[in-house]
Amino acid sequence: MADAGGVARQQPMYVVLREVAEGSWLLVGEVARRPGLPARRGRAQAAADALGRPPMEGERLAVIPRSEWRVGLDW
């Protein structure tokens, strides 16, 4: 996808879901993958970016590739 200036924009690579009730998930954000970060740290950073803060203790989040996010809603 290109913006008005003709520059291609990268689509978000991760979606972040938060469990709001037993088995019920809410999409809280989409973020781009950061090149050069190890996968585990990249997902943790993606969660922090989507929330605008680090995850709180006990908060259940799922960070999954954007291409698989619909599957996550059926957990």
Q: Which amino acid is at 1?
A: M
Q: Is the pTM of this model over 0.75?
A: no
Domain chopping of the chain, boundaries: 14-72
Q: Contact at 8 Å (CB) between 17 and 73?
A: yes
Which H/E stretch holds residue 15?
Answer: strand 14-21
Number of helices (H) and strands (E), helices first, in the chain? 2, 3
Neighbours of 57 (CB within 10 A): 5
Per-residue pLDDT of the chain (75 residues; tens, 9 = 90+): 455 655 555 667 888 999 999 888 899 998 887 788 787 788 888 899 889 999 999 999 999 888 776 654 554
